[in-house]
Amino acid sequence: MALVNTFLTEVRQTVIPDRRGPDGPLPPLLLAMTVITGLVDSFSYLLLGHVFVANMTGNVVFLAFALVGARGFSIPASIAALGSFALGAMIGGRVCARMAQDRARLLSSCTTIQTGFVAVSVVLAGFGGSAVTAGFRYGLIVVLGVSMGIQNAAARKLAVADLTTTVLTMTITGITADGPAGARSGARAGRRGLTVASMFAGAVVGAALIVHGARVYPLALALLLAVTVGGTAWAVGRSQPDWSRPHP
């Protein structure tokens, strides 16, 4: 029973955090960004060929598959995704360096730039129609890859525990390795579980929309979430609350 109570408390504190806490409202905002990851990766994998725009570990593996001639994988697509993500991370890194002393402004600024790239992807997907041609395909890979690189750089700089927004391998490892059957050092299963569930939910919604023919909707929904996160971060950070200052 104690484990259940701890789990539910962690879920509540992540979804409805104490504004006076060290991370303020950042946890739910980063959960929303994790949903975006699921949405855009479902779009890229299902419609742009076997390529991810957020999960770079997958792209490294896909590139290896393509190099040995495995069907369904593309060397140019994987390289485009990796290069675009790296460019986005560089852009995000520069913004983070300038905004390092104000976490709210950092998130708002990075998300605003990301929103611009996601908006371009919505336009490209809309004009691309039901069959994504090569030109639109690579355009979408580039703008989405850049947008997710920016997001990942921002999440890395914010350094909110277990909320990386794009990488789940270590999160899932922590649930079991740090849990009662492992090191017993504190699994934080509530927060970590929410992270996994957020990406899963985004992927499910994105895939369902694509399968049923509403192909531009996953990107439109990602755009809406990005606008919401950026606007919220700006609004709650205007008074420069304690949580907006970087951790010592």
Q: What is the pLDDT of residues 199-244, one digit of tens each?
A: 999 999 999 999 998 889 999 999 999 999 999 999 998 888 989 9
Q: What is the pLDDT of residues 10-64, one digit of tens each?
A: 888 888 888 788 899 999 999 999 999 999 999 999 999 899 999 999 999 999 9
Confidence at residue 96, expressed as pLDDT on a 0 to 100 scale: 95
3-state secondary structure (DSSP) of residue 246: coil
Q: How many domains does the chain have?
A: 1
3-state secondary structure (DSSP) of residue 113: helix
Whether 171 is covered by a domain: the verdict is yes
pLDDT-derived band of residue 187, with 50, 70 and 90 as boundaries?
A: low
Confidence at residue 190, expressed as pLDDT on a 0 to 100 scale: 82
Give dist(CA 225, CA 55) in Å, integer. 19
Indicate whether 197 pLDDT > 80.
Answer: yes
Window from 45-59, 88-102, 175-189, 197-211 with minimum mean pLDDT: 175-189
Whether 209 is covered by a domain: the verdict is yes
Segments forming the whole domain that contains residue 137: 24-48+83-238
pLDDT-derived band of residue 95, with 50, 70 and 90 as boundaries?
A: very high
* CATH code, 176: 1.20.1250
Whether 113 is covered by a domain: the verdict is yes
If you average pLDDT over residues 104-108, what whole number do you get? 95
Whether 3 is covered by a domain: the verdict is no
Write out the two tokens for 162. Answer: 């277990």
Indicate whether 183 pLDDT > 70.
Answer: no
Percent pLDDT > 90 in the chain is: 65
Whether 65 is covered by a domain: the verdict is no
Whether 18 is covered by a domain: the verdict is no
Indicate whether 6 pLDDT > 80.
Answer: no
Give dist(CA 109, CA 120) in Å, integer. 17
Whether 109 is covered by a domain: the verdict is yes
Give dist(CA 7, CA 140) in Å, integer. 39
Whether 248 is covered by a domain: the verdict is no
